[in-house]
Amino acid sequence: MRTKIVAGNWKMNLDVEASKKLAMDISTDIQNLETNNTRIIIAPTFTNLYPVINLVGMDTRIEIAAQNMHQAKSGAYTGEIAADMIQSIGVNTVILGHSERRTYFNETDKALAEKVNTALQNRMDVIFCFGEVLEDRQQNNHFSIVEIQLKKALFHLKPQDWKHIILAYEPVWAIGTGETATPEQAQEMHAFIRNLLSAKFGENVAQEVSILYGGSVKPANAKEIFSKPDVDGGLIGGAALHSQDFTALIQAIQ
């Protein structure tokens, strides 16, 4: 059975006190939930990872992830953070390839392939994001764009590497816009991705990889999206910044 996952990407929001409060609120709010089958992940900004870990690190239901990392082991990369540094504070999961990184910070498929390699060499788990822009969908290119993104960054992996990969399909036109893909659009893309994985890596890998949907997931629409057979959870932006909403999303996946 595939792991269900609700992951909160806090992006560049919240100072240290607000991050600690949100993490603590989530820890408290999920106390009475039956969350055994769900991985709950939160991704604060770099400066808030350590304080949040110190606060809720003992809560085994909550995993902490970084939002990015550099591919090099160390060196002259001013402003960047290496895998070893993230791991030295106890973080073993990283979000890579978010569309905001691709768009505003020019992250290329090649750089992302290197980042994925570094993460896997360090035995980290990767939440790998990808998705088409509006124009691609309007021109009916969304399947080929997603296929290219996955092939360029992930198709060099070995079947056993996929144990450490979580996919997050995030159509760019649905991120922060209030416009979600319909549950049918999400299901259609997730099934397409699983077929691609099956053809390249075998049916076992395809059936085991969790594929999350991201893009304006809210308590009001989550249940329907999460009910689709190939949607294994969500990567959440705005709604992850409110403990009650985030908790409602965890409930919606049960």
- CA 166 from chain centre, in angstroms, equals 7
Site for ligand 13P in 96-135 (CB under 6 A): 98
The residue range among 69-77, 104-112, 200-208, 210-218 that interacts with ligand 13P, by the rule CB under 6 A, is 210-218
Query: Which residue type sits at 145?
Result: I
Question: What's the token pair of residue 130?
Answer: 């990808």
Q: How far is the CB of 236 from ligand 13P (least distance, A)?
A: 5
**Exposed (0-12), middle (13-18) or buried (19+): which is 73, by Cβ within 10 Å?**
exposed
Smaller CB separation from ligand 13P, 23 or 237: 237
Residue 38: its H or E element: strand 38-43
Residue 164 catalytic? no
| Residue in 136, 170, 232, 245 binding ligand 13P, rule: CB under 6 A | 170
Smaller CB separation from ligand 13P, 175 or 206: 175
Closest CB to ligand 13P: residue number: 237
Task: Give the C-alpha separation, 124 to 65, whole Å.
Answer: 10
Task: Give the C-alpha separation, 84 to 69, whole Å.
Answer: 10
Site for ligand 13P in 71-100 (CB under 6 A): 98
- At 5 the three-state DSSP class reads strand
- b/e string for 144-179 if b means 16 or more Cβ within 10 A? ebbeebbeebbeebeeebbebbbbbbbbbbbbeeee
Site for ligand 13P in 176-205 (CB under 6 A): 176
| Residue in 44, 97, 215, 233 binding ligand 13P, rule: CB under 6 A | 215
Task: Give the C-alpha separation, 122 to 131, whole Å.
Answer: 26
Smaller CB separation from ligand 13P, 205 or 247: 247
On whether the CB atoms of residues 107 and 97 are closer than 8 A, the answer is yes
Q: Which of the following is catalytic: 98, 107, 142, 190? A: 98
- CA nearest 22: which of 6, 11, 10? 10
- CA 253 from chain centre, in angstroms, equals 16
The residue range among 73-81, 108-116, 156-164, 229-237 that interacts with ligand 13P, by the rule CB under 6 A, is 229-237
Residue 208 catalytic? no
Question: What's the token pair of residue 226?
Answer: 């999460």
User: Interface with ligand 13P includes 251 (CB under 6 A)?
Assistant: no
Smaller CB separation from ligand 13P, 206 or 216: 216
User: Interface with ligand 13P includes 210 (CB under 6 A)?
Assistant: no
Smaller CB separation from ligand 13P, 101 or 205: 101
Q: How far is the CB of 214 from ligand 13P (least distance, A)?
A: 4
Q: Which residues bind ligand 13P (CB under 6 A)?
A: 9, 98, 170, 175-176, 214-217, 235-239
Residues marked as catalytic: 98, 170
